[in-house]
């Protein structure tokens, strides 16, 4: 067992656990934060996405021993933050939420991308959220969401491409 201290959604927290305990399990079982979902549990689907020191990570792949002194942000905090509002609004308006199981992970990923690079070019935009799977296969809605969120830059890119012809 190890004693662990880290910052969770802006609050200093501590617990005792085995070094190999997954962050996903710590969140859900020790801190009652169930927004990060267990999906594939091998780092492929993004349902468990959280931020670790402001970078998106799959919580099913992060172990307790990696957390000491780090900052973890989950959908419970981000969903209440103004920074995620454009993403949440676009997902909702574009019909990208069906059962909702993947939605928290999508918001974590897209908000990070939107903050970091709000105007990607069309090629970058096409690959956004490629680490997030939707088992309801709502990819049409996700594509529309990305178009709405990053659309201005895509139009500019298309315009630039057209003007070069």
Give the shortest CB-131-to-ligand FES separation in angstroms.
Answer: 8
Contact between 58 and ligand FES by CB under 6 A: the answer reads: yes
What backbone torsions phi and psi does residue 74 show, to the nearest 5 degrees?
-115, 175
Burial classification of residue 140, based on how many CB atoms lie within 10 Å of its CB (0-12 exposed, 13-18 middle, 19 or more buried): exposed
Determine which residue in the list 8, 17, 26, 48 makes contact with ligand FES, applying CB under 6 A: 48
Contact between 160 and ligand FES by CB under 6 A: the answer reads: no
Ordered DSSP codes for 97-124: -SS-TTHHHHHHHHHHHHHH-SS--HHH
Determine which residue in the list 8, 17, 26, 47 makes contact with ligand FES, applying CB under 6 A: 47
Binding segment for ligand FES among 2-10, 39-47, 62-70, 119-127 (CB under 6 A)? Answer: 39-47
Q: For residues 72-101, which are near ligand FES according to CB under 6 A?
A: 97-101
On whether the CB atoms of residues 128 and 113 are closer than 8 A, the answer is: yes
| Stretch (H or E) spanning 50 | strand 49-52
Where on the chain is the footprint of ligand FES (CB under 6 A)? 38-41, 43-48, 58, 60, 97-102, 134-136, 138
């Amino acid at each position: 067992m190890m004693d662990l201290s880290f910052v969770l959604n802006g609050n200093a927290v501590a617990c005792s656990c085995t070094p190999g305990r997954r962050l996903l399990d710590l969140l859900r079982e020790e801190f009652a934060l169930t927004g990060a979902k267990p999906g594939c549990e091998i780092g492929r689907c993004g349902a468990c996405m959280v931020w670790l020191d402001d970078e998106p990570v799959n919580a099913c792949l992060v172990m307790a021993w990696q957390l000491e002194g780090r900052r973890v942000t989950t959908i419970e905090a981000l969903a209440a933050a103004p920074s995620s509002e454009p993403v949440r609004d676009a997902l909702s308006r574009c019909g990208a939420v069906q059962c909702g199981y993947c939605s928290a992970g999508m918001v974590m990923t897209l908000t990070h991308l939107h903050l970091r690079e709000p105007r990607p070019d069309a090629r970058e935009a096409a690959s956004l959220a490629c680490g997030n799977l939707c088992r309801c296969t709502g990819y049409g809605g996700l594509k529309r969401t990305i178009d709405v969120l990053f659309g201005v830059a895509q139009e500019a890119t298309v315009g630039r491409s057209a003007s070069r012809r």
